Amino acid sequence: MSTPLFNHITIIGPGLIGSSILRRIQKDRSIAKTSTAYDIDPKVCDRVRVLKIADQVVNDPEEAVQTADCVVLSVPVGAMGSVTKEITPYMKKGSILIDTGSTKASVINAIKPYLTENMTYVPSHPMAGTEFSGPDAGYDTLFENHWCLLTPTEDSTPESIEKITKFWQMMGANIRCLEVKHHDKVCAIISHLPHLLAFTICNTVNHLSEETRTEVLDYAAPSFRDFTRIASSDPTMWRDVFINNRKALLEMLARFTEDTQAMAKAIRWQDGEYITDTIVQARKIRKSIVDDK
Ligand code: NAP
């Protein structure tokens, strides 16, 4: 067998994303010879042991990282800074730290103060996921044919960027490097705003009178079910994403609100041409997204 990309990888937070990485490593040992998992929640550690998706599961962050040559942080974005503070004093010389956080400026700012000269850091964001969370939700093909966006900083050496590019390619992903602010703006419109709308529309239903609400829930049309699938997503993860990418998200929400108001005006004035044009344009965009897949 050829030399694996990494000798030893540690996953901190083996939930949906982390457990998918572990499963892929089990399937393809040219990614890493051995893997370790650590989670703040002992129940998650126990579950990972039962699932047998890591070579070693430990309940101590120091023990988790000390022999790893790559450490992956797949915890909610609001926990990235505190976890980094706990582990970096114990990371070995020449190791690489990566995160999988959905927001990048806030995560980089949270991690940066705790980096040591022992390590390099490559921020990354796999653009793959589901509405489920926890170690049972992961699967080894989660990243297959999805984008993984890297936002290197001055703490990312060319060698570490090359290695992490290879790592995500071995996970099945396609790679792009983006500037940090641009990443956060793009993700605000394509991922964070849709989640905000899905959570909100479910609550709008909830605020309706008892009689109407029951009917809506009973007769929920496929369109409502499709549109709200992502409202089943994890509250902690999305609370953290909204708060940590608030500037870009609020800007996109303001633009969306303007467009919604324009549509409302067209409906009030029965401006069929505006309504048709908007729908025709939207269909084109939707088609280009689906055709790109
Ligand atoms: P998840 O399934 O909820 O897994 C996160 C795990 O991290 C949980 O087991 C959690 O434990 C654990 N954790 C929380 N704080 C910790 C700490 N301080 N130390 C160690 N472990 C800790 O979440 P996920 O969906 O895999 O998301 C992980 C990261 O990937 C997030 O930053 C998210 O923004 C990003 N991401 C998610 C998606 C997606 O669609 N889900 C897509 C791309 C990127 P508890 O069970 O105790 O909370």
CATH code for the domain of 190: 1.10.3660.10
Q: Please give the distance, rounded to the nearest whole angstrom, from the Cα atom of residue 209 to the centre of ligand 1.
A: 36
Please state, in angstroms and as integers, the Cα–Cα distance from residue 26 to each residue in 9, 21, 66, 69, 94, following that order.
Answer: 12, 9, 21, 17, 24
Q: Give the predicted TM-score (pTM) of the model.
A: 0.95
Atom of ligand 1 nearest to the CA of 129: 40
What residue numbers bound the domain in which 246 lies?
Answer: 182-292
Residue 189, pLDDT score: 97
Best substitution site from 22, 40, 183 to test ligand 1's pocket, by max atoms within 8 Å of Cβ? 40
Report whether residue 78 contacts ligand 1, using a CB cutoff of 6 Å: no
pLDDT at 1 over 70: no
Model pLDDT for residues 167-214, shown as the tens digit of each residue: 999 999 999 999 999 999 999 999 999 999 999 999 998 888 887 888
What is the rounded CA–CA span in Å between residue 132 and residue 221?
22
Domain's final residue, options 153, 178, 203: 178
Q: Are residues 157 and 28 in the same domain?
A: yes
Phi and psi at 73, nearest 5°, equal -95, 110
Q: Are residues 126 and 250 in the same domain?
A: no
Domain's final residue, options 155, 178, 201: 178
Q: Please give the distance, rounded to the nearest whole angstrom, from the Cα atom of residue 76 to the centre of ligand 1.
A: 4
Residue 157, pLDDT score: 97
Smallest CA separation from ligand 1 atom 41, residue: 129
Report whether residue 95 contacts ligand 1, using a CB cutoff of 6 Å: no
Report whether residue 81 contacts ligand 1, using a CB cutoff of 6 Å: no
Domain's final residue, options 178, 211, 228: 178
pLDDT at 292 over 80: no
Model pLDDT for residues 155-168, shown as the tens digit of each residue: 999 999 999 999 99
Q: Are residues 77 and 194 in the same domain?
A: no
Q: Are residues 114 and 211 in the same domain?
A: no
Q: Please give the distance, rounded to the nearest whole angstrom, from the Cα atom of residue 18 to the centre of ligand 1.
A: 8
Smallest CA separation from ligand 1 atom 1, residue: 15
Which residues on adjacent β-strands are paired with residue 73? 12, 99
In terms of DSSP H, where are the helices of the chain? 16-27, 42-51, 61-65, 80-87, 105-111, 158-170, 180-187, 193-207, 210-219, 222-228, 235-244, 246-268, 272-292
Residue 183, pLDDT score: 98
Report whether residue 101 contacts ligand 1, using a CB cutoff of 6 Å: yes
Atom of ligand 1 nearest to the CA of 233: 41
Model pLDDT for residues 139-160, shown as the tens digit of each residue: 999 999 999 999 999 999 999 9
Q: Are residues 206 and 268 in the same domain?
A: yes
Q: Please give the distance, rounded to the nearest whole angstrom, from the Cα atom of residue 200 to the centre of ligand 1.
A: 22
Q: Please give the distance, rounded to the nearest whole angstrom, from the Cα atom of residue 265 to the centre of ligand 1.
A: 41
Is 252 inside a domain boundary?
Answer: yes
> Nearest-CA neighbor of 61 among 86, 85, 79?
86
Model pLDDT for residues 86-112, shown as the tens digit of each residue: 999 999 999 999 999 999 999 999 999
Residue 213, pLDDT score: 81
Q: Are residues 118 and 193 in the same domain?
A: no
User: What radius of gyration do the chain's Cα atoms show?
Assistant: 21
Number of domains in the chain: 2
Q: Are residues 257 and 114 in the same domain?
A: no
- Give me the percent of the chain exceeding a pLDDT of 70: 99
Smallest CA separation from ligand 1 atom 4, residue: 15
Q: Are residues 148 and 202 in the same domain?
A: no
Residue 293, pLDDT score: 66
What is the rounded CA–CA span in Å between residue 270 and residue 258?
18
Tokens of 177: 């490097």
Atom of ligand 1 nearest to the CA of 20: 26
Are β-strands 119-126 and 147-150 bridged in parallel, bridged antiparallel, or unpaired? antiparallel
Best substitution site from 10, 20, 24, 39 to test ligand 1's pocket, by max atoms within 8 Å of Cβ? 39
Is 94 inside a domain boundary?
Answer: yes
Is 56 inside a domain boundary?
Answer: yes
Smallest CA separation from ligand 1 atom 33, residue: 101
Is 1 inside a domain boundary?
Answer: no
What is the rounded CA–CA span in Å between residue 140 and residue 142?
6
Q: Are residues 98 and 23 in the same domain?
A: yes
Q: Are residues 148 and 259 in the same domain?
A: no
Residue 221, pLDDT score: 81
CATH code for the domain in which residue 150 is found: 3.40.50.720
pLDDT band with cut points at 50, 70 and 90 for residue 219? confident
